[in-house]
Structure 1
Amino acid sequence: MLIVAGLPIVSTNTPLPDLSDDVCARLREAFRRTGYDADGVVDALGGAAHTALGRGEPEPARRASLDAGDLGVFIRLFLLGLAEPEKAVSSAFAPLTADDAVAAGILRAVGDEFRAALDIRPHGDDDGSWWVVSDLDADMLGHVVPEDHVLGVGHASLSLIRATSRRPVGTLLDLGTGNGVQALHATRHAQRVTATDVSARALALAAGTFRLNELEVELLRGEWFAPVARRRFDQVVCNPPFVVGPPRVDYTYRDSGLAGDDASALVVRQLPSFLNDGGTGQLLASWLHRNGEDWGDRVSRWLPPETDAWFVQRDVADPGLYVGTWLRDEGIDPRSPEGRAKAAAWLDWFTENDVQGIGFGFVTLRRANGQTPTVVCEDLRQAYDDPLGPEAANWLDRVEWLRTHGDNVLDVAFRVPDTVLLERVDSPGDEGWETTVRRLHRTDGPGWQHEVDELTTRLLAGCRGALPLSDLLDLLSAAQGLDSAELTAAALPIVRELVRHGMLVPGSPQ
């Protein structure tokens, strides 16, 4: 069952598709019969052609699809943007007729052939495969996309999917659902999912996504958190329109109409009030880097009281590169007169507002009523393979553990996990090789690294889960002739930081 509520679904720019229960049921039957799913497409194309398609090189995939029968028809229509004759379309789409597919807005007739009118493609995870409905991109359309364009599953969507905790929850809100892909993944771990969007077209396509996959999702229309006023959730996920620049709306999927980074600030400010106690929120966000202002101070000011927050900066873009990237995203050549005019206005705004760069990353929030919050802003620009979602959940666990234990960490026996290594950089000196850099490196998760001094390495060498931290500090101070109280005061902040990053694991209290 699909529930749609809120404002009337009326699109101002392009006709809405009619993805009814009946149409989706027949289309789903055709997809299942032909094997049009994530694994089926890879099997049909082969690894090399599938990889080439991901690089934007479609010809190997076209050639491979010619031997794939009805499945090849779907690959050429939806993944390659090619035209197919009526006979091939009728065979592949049965029991949905070609005329019904056109009437529903899935296909469009071009002479005696048919082309895709929507992007419908498989999207999978470790547990299976779905189909995601979105609009055709500019390359497929052959022109700039309209204002109410519904984006497919892009890099930003995939990065948020990987950065979201998948621990079981009762209720989850997908704020700004777009094509519905975040809600799809949410159904794996949430008992009830609510999805909202301001765009009527986005809601119509998301509804098609959910119907096609036989999923029950509550859909609501409205701006920001208005559709769920006075409600609370165990988890909120949000991929907001976070593009930074002048206050305008060229495309609803990326532009909020708010100036600068105000869209990201709005979500961070308001999200915690829609969480149950202990509930979590995860979102993509952008923030300005302004001359003389620390970015961490800027984003920390967005937070409401009693909110744990972890801001992870994944990249910082130069304004010129940023503008060019987003112009190409909408299909505009930065060298064209239109592109030059838009770029000039955009860059003028950055100059007027003293913007030196644009930061981008992930934000994890937790409602921590009645407790002193922990707020950490840090760079994580290195490449890593493990998804950030489990790390974010574990980070919150470790923050809560530190808050609970306070100064009692001195009574805990810690150990260094096997995944943490000590790297040394030695340089030649007058008396042979001298260690100039000591670096702790966690080899799993996001691959945290910490440069440490010799005293810290000696302390960590004793952290084998046998002696409490206080005993190790007493032994180290005696061996080095240092004041125990001063050594303890210097060590505690380092220990807490290593615990937050999972590089020290608490054992049993002594």
Structure 2
Amino acid sequence: MVLFHLPRGGGQVVGDALRRAGYSEAGLRQAVGTSSSLAHDTRGSEVARRRLASANALHTLIKAFCLGIPVPRNELTNAVGAATVEDLVRLAVVTREQDAFIPRIAIDAAQDLLIAHDPARQGEQLMGDHVIGLGPAPRTLAALTVRLKAGRVLDLGTGSGIHALLALNLCDDVVATDINPRALAYTRFNAGLNRLAIPTTRQGNLFEPVAGEAFDLIVANPPYVLSPDSSLHFRDSGMAGDELSRTVVREAARHLTDGGFASILISWAHGEEEAWQAPLAGWVRGVGCDALLLRFRTYDPVTYASLWIKEEAEYAETLDRWLGYYGGLGIRAMSSGAVILRRRSGVNWMRSAHMLSAPIQDASRHLLQIFDASDRLSRMPDTSAGSRSEYRSESSDRACWSGSTVIGRSAT
């Protein structure tokens, strides 16, 4: 695998070459209809290849870093120049094979950010330390992040570093952690790729690298999948059931400053007839935070497992093993969603909502409005039985937000 010992500033050379050619979200969408890697998508990749008939610089770079296909030596040289080609080889971004260059990384584009990550090619087994790019989960977390000026920000489980880079708009003290050293290498590389300051990177599991520290904002896209395996860092936690999600939620609360926010993507198990909020209410009770619980979707075990199993070999056996694991834990239903926390002294409130779809646009303003409205409601007299309890809760059947796009260097 590449990018383990990259020089800290190596990404600048690559980013400058890509931008000169117009490699951007707008450029990719106009050329192939997407701004994310298509290397894993045989059908999409073949359609895109037929749209890239030109040998111009942008089409050449899209073929290499979006489709993941080899490009002729003279074509890449014409696209970026001989000196830059040598830099790409030195950085292990491409390798020479006879008269072609083989791309070793994929590069997604989102507004004015470029995000390098490992390619996921159709039919290839993913390595345990595989680093993912800008899929639906990172985009959803970016949309659900409260964006206020902050003193310190923690990106827990940084992956390719997208949330750490976005946080540089909010403060200069950004800490990115991951158990996977290659994820931290990508984070540093991507900072250079975008000519941004390099966040502080620390290797370790969950909150171990920041023990005893507090942050004004925590964003977390942990390996929350309910999985019997521990083979893929980005997917598997090695913890039983939804214990990983519960642990991250409760530990995040302990690492927040007063008034600080945390946005955490999670999955959790619950009974078929049980209210989906019930397990989460237990997680957030007594942690000293107001909590907004969001559900995106509820799944049966077969559907959930089929979404996450990446191992193509012996797929049927793997599916049966996952279903047996769920059966052994008594899991009949599981949901995906997010928890938004704000640390505050006094009587805390909890609110829950089912989202019609995961947001793809900046919901920060809407989240702040919800927290402000819930604060005002919590201060209203409540004469019902049990009104003196330490927690007040409210639920909503649906929520649908819109807003400005969040993923971009100037997001606020």
Q: What amino acid sits opposite 1:102 in the alignment?
A: V
Instruction: Work out which of the residue numbers 15, 19, 23 in structure 2 matches 1:32.
Output: 19
User: Aligned runs of 1:80-95 on 2, under 5 Å?
Assistant: 80-94=67-81
Deviation at 1:63?
A: 3.7
Indicate the residue corresponding to 1:445 in structure 2.
401
Show structure 1 runs of 5+ residues with no match. Answer: 1-13, 409-439, 448-510
Pair 1:315 & 2:297 matched: yes
DSSP 3-state at the match of 1:254: coil
User: Aligned runs of 1:261-410 on 2, under 5 Å?
Assistant: 261-290=242-271, 293-303=274-284, 304-327=286-309, 330-332=310-312, 338-369=314-345, 371-381=346-356, 387-406=362-381
Measure the CA separation in 2 of the matches of 1:52 and 1:121.
6
Indicate the residue corresponding to 1:70 in structure 2.
57
Instruction: Work out which of the residue numbers 130, 137, 141 in structure 1 matches 2:120.
Output: 137
User: Aligned runs of 1:407-426 on 2, under 5 Å?
Assistant: none
Identify the range of structure 1 (73-82 vs 292-301) with the bigger mean alpha-carbon deviation.
292-301
Q: Could you tell me whether the CA contact under 8 Å between 2:292 and 2:350 is conserved in 1?
A: yes
Deviation at 1:29?
A: 2.5
Pair 1:222 & 2:209 matched: no
DSSP 3-state at the match of 2:254: helix
Indicate the residue corresponding to 1:163 in structure 2.
144
Show structure 2 runs of 5+ residues with no match. Answer: 384-395, 404-412
Deviation at 1:297?
A: 2.1
Indicate the residue corresponding to 2:410 in structure 1.
none
Deviation at 1:306?
A: 2.0
Q: Percent identity?
A: 30
DSSP 3-state at the match of 2:33: helix
Q: What amino acid sits opposite 2:238 in the alignment?
A: G
Q: What amino acid sits opposite 1:115 in the alignment?
A: I
Q: Could you tell me whether the CA contact under 8 Å between 1:27 and 1:95 is conserved in 2?
A: no
Q: Could you tell me whether the CA contact under 8 Å between 1:165 and 1:392 is conserved in 2?
A: yes
DSSP 3-state at the match of 1:169: coil
Identify the range of structure 1 (273-282 vs 29-38) with the bigger mean alpha-carbon deviation.
29-38
DSSP 3-state at the match of 2:196: coil
The alignment's TM-score, normalised by the length of structure 1, stands at 0.70
Measure the CA separation in 2 of the matches of 1:292 and 1:445.
28
Q: Which has the larger radius of gyration?
A: 1
Indicate the residue corresponding to 1:210 in structure 2.
191
Instruction: Work out which of the residue numbers 184, 188, 194 in structure 1 matches 2:165.
Output: 184
Q: Could you tell me whether the CA contact under 8 Å between 1:249 and 1:257 is conserved in 2?
A: yes
Deviation at 1:271?
A: 0.4
Q: What amino acid sits opposite 1:302 in the alignment?
A: W
Q: What amino acid sits opposite 1:194 in the alignment?
A: V
DSSP 3-state at the match of 1:374: strand
Q: What amino acid sits opposite 2:351 in the alignment?
A: V
Measure the CA separation in 2 of the matches of 1:262 and 1:116.
38
Deviation at 1:33?
A: 1.9
Measure the CA separation in 1 of the matches of 2:100 and 2:265.
41
Deviation at 1:207?
A: 1.1
DSSP 3-state at the match of 1:323: helix
Instruction: Work out which of the residue numbers 103, 108, 133 in structure 1 matches 2:95.
Output: 108
> Which structure dedicates a bigger proportion of its chain to helix?
1
